[in-house]
Amino acid sequence: MFLRIVSTETDDAFQASLHKFLAPLLLKLASQHEVVRKKVMELLVHINKRLKSRPSVTLPIDHLMSQYKDPSNSSMVTVSNLIPLIAWL
């Protein structure tokens, strides 16, 4: 997942990767393994930097909102990660 997002060269490919992988990626923040959480955060920093310089790229709002509203997701995933992404839009 990391390489597929990072290696996208065009805005269209980057957007397609985000629509496919962003919501599942955020769920990985609930991992019991610190190494996984750190890698996810590293990727989110990369995504954030790219999004700031590419205003035409959209996020998968429907998937993010569904994930935010799902009570089975951990509060760490929904509160600390989805709200800033949605607010940023």
Between residues 2 and 34, the one the model is more confident about: 34
Distance CA(62)–CA(26), nearest Å, equals 14
Question: What pLDDT shows up at residue 82?
Answer: 53
Closest by alpha carbon to 37, among 86, 79, 76, 85?
A: 76
Asked whether the whole model's pTM tops 0.85, one would answer no
Q: Residue 79 above 60 pLDDT? A: no
Q: Model confidence over 45-72: pLDDT tens digits? A: 888 889 888 889 998 888 888 887 777 7
Domain ranges of the chain: 2-88
pLDDT tens profile 7-49: 888 999 999 999 999 988 888 888 889 999 899 888 988 888 8
